[in-house]
Amino acid sequence: METVSTNKAFGGTQGVYKHASAVTGTEMTFSVYVPPHAEGAKLPVVWYLSGLTCTHANVTEKGEFRAACAELGLIFVAPDTSPRGEGVADDPEGAYDFGLGAGFYVNATEAPFATHYRMRDYIEQELPALIAAEFPADMERQSIMGHSMGGHGALTIGLRNTGRFKAISAFAPIVSPLNCPWGEKALSGYIGTDRAKWREYDACALIEDGARMPSGLLIDQGTADGFLENQLKPELLEAACRATWQPTTVRMQEGYDHSYYFISTFMAEHLAWHAERLKA
């Protein structure tokens, strides 16, 4: 692991790091905020997965999470959204919603994406091992959150790994890639046209198929979000959870859009919600 930069913030350290990933076959960059803590202490970890077009830098620079993490004693980890670099396949037409910056947190099986696009294994296996080795992280106390495509990632990774994560929340998540243009394009391109194979990457389908998060789900969604009706569809998640008795809170936030102005407004509330569920 190589340190790109470190800055003191709210008594802790905001760092940016990179490493050679064996999973993606590329160099990967991520950020970690470590709050002030007693020597030798192990701290709970909150994972934040970003949305389409983003890198680790979007939430690191705009998310306004450090004050809350310092107060609550939370490590905050922000990975990239896809592999990058020479030889990494991209959308042939240069679209923003597929390819670079749009890994959708899946393990691709279709050529040419299968070579590098293995973000599921990267987030579920490789990067957690690195965090455990290099930071004062209590890996028995982890939770996960995300925005938009990263909300989809947080929901699906969290629901597939309920023994690892104590809580899941999301800002404006893509709740059902099976039922929206973004998801249909990404999953067909990465996984192929057999929609049955998509279900492990769809939060609503996972819940319908038996996945449960006992501590509940917390979702914030802006009413002025331009992607609300065609891409995000929180009502599908509400229906799936209601039918299966999965505890879920969906808060429709009047007048908020899809931006980091929205995310930063409610970030501290989400982190406090996670901290409560991460208590030893």
Active site residues: 148, 225, 258
Distances (CA, A) of 32 to 19, 69, 152, 273: 13, 11, 21, 20
Distance CA 232, CA 258 (A): 11
Yes or no: say if 117 and 140 are a contact pair by the CB < 8 Å rule.
no
Which two structure tokens, joined as six digits, stand for 9? 């913030």
Distance CA 228, CA 190 (A): 24
Distances (CA, A) of 82 to 30, 52, 129, 246: 11, 10, 18, 30
Give Cα 67 distance to the centre of its chain: 20
Yes or no: say if 186 and 98 are a contact pair by the CB < 8 Å rule.
yes
| Helix or strand holding residue 78 (H, E) | strand 75-78
| Nearest alpha carbon to residue 101 among 65, 148, 143 | 148
